[in-house]
Structure 1
Amino acid sequence: MGSRHEHDWFHLKVPHLLLALPLVLLLVLGVMLPVQATDYNKEFLVGSDFSGRVLTDSSFTKANLRNANFSGADLKGVSFFGANLEAANLTGADLRQATLDVVRFTNADLTNAVLEGAFAVNATFDGAKVDGADFTDVDLRRDAQISLCKKAQGVNPVTGRSTRQTLDCD
């Protein structure tokens, strides 16, 4: 049988540990919870820096994102419907399953971006750089596809697919 000192330690320390347990669990679970999607709809975000950020399922519908930096960002499932991405940097961005309909990618840099499964039927890509971009299963207008094929080159470093092949150029 333990001494009185051991018995007192148990009664003094255990309640404190039990009180701290919910706080520890909250901190651990907080780290493991998914990032909440954010609504940037109709925002004026010219020149904003979103590089390397996880923005999964966020919405930038009709936002002005001219010259914004999304390089290396996780943009899976993001809605850019009607957004202005003129001269935006989307180098290496993950745009899988994104809504890109009516987006202006004029002079945007989509080098090595992954757009697999994105919806971009009415998007415009005038002057956009698409070297190494992956357009697998992207819904594009035929005229946009033809225009992109004229400058398509490279292989996406993430998927290993040729840009020309993903655009069905040949």
Structure 2
Amino acid sequence: MLRNVKIWLYLTCPDSSFTILRSHSVGFVESQHNCLLEYMPTIIALILASILVFFPGQVMLPGGGNAYAAGGTSQYKPSLSYDNAVLNGEDFSGKNLQTAVFTTAKLDDTNFAGADLTGVVISSSTLNRTNLHGANLTQGLLDQVRFVGADLSDAVFVEAMMLRSTFTDVNIAGADFTDAILGKLQQKELCQIATGVNSKTGVATRDSLGCK
């Protein structure tokens, strides 16, 4: 889903200060200047549009309804939408939360261990001491998320967009960031604590981050 967004980023911001992490056998792309903030609304719109195309029955409209693209049927279940929700301490471990949306949500001490969060959208939310051990956040959009004391060990962030998120005292042992989009500073900070190998993908955390 993020492949077209990445191509758009390359064409629009060829010198922007983001890092698209590639697999350990390919290397990674670095750049210095920044035009991403200007185009962030467009980036988010592209991702949400992709969700609508590929998951036509799983996009929530304002008011709680779900949008069906042409040809959509009732077999599609609406995605979970947690706008301004207080979910501190809730247990979502092992749950299927594909394409769920958490906007300005409180997720302190929330348990997402082993959950399927493929295509999740988490925006402007706090994740203090949140447990994401072994969770799958492939192709997730994590914008302005504050990870503080969170357990991200063995989680999969393949092709996740994580710009403007912050990481403080987090555990990323065994996490896989292959093809994730991170800021240069984010990558540098995460490389300082990167250890381990992901149990599902077999990719070393340092390799997935392109650490030197």
TM bin (shorter chain): 0.7 to 0.9
Structure 2 SS opposite 1:66: coil
Counterpart selection for 1:88 from 125, 130, 144: 130
**1:66 corresponds to:** 108
Structure 1 residue 124 corresponds to structure 2 residue 166: yes
1:161 counterpart letter in structure 2: V
Question: What is the CA distance between 1:62 and its match in structure 2?
Answer: 1.1
Task: Give the conservation status (yes or no) of the 8 Å contact 1:35–1:54.
Answer: no
What's the counterpart of residue 93 of structure 2?
Answer: 51
2:189 aligned partner: 147
Q: In 2, distance between residues paired with 1:165 and 1:159?
A: 12
How many residue pairs match? The answer is 138
1:90-109 correspondence runs (5 A): 90-109=132-151
- The 8 Å contact of residues 71 and 92 in structure 1, kept in 2 or not, is answered as yes
* Structure 1: 5+ residue stretches without partners: 1-32
Distance 2:77 2:114 in 1: 17
Secondary structure of the equivalent of 1:105?
A: strand
The equivalent residue for 2:54 is none
CA-CA distance at 1:162 after TM superposition:
0.4
Letter of the structure 2 residue corresponding to residue 58 of structure 1: A
| 1-structure distance, mates of 2:77, 2:199 | 26
Shift of 1:34: 5.5
> Which structure has more RCO (C-alpha within 8 Å, separation ≥ 6)?
2
| CA distances 1:113-153 after superposition (whole Å, capped 9, x unpaired) | 00000110111111110000000111111111111101100
Unaligned 5+ segments in structure 2 are 1-74
**Contact 1:101–1:121 at 8 Å: present in 2 too?**
yes
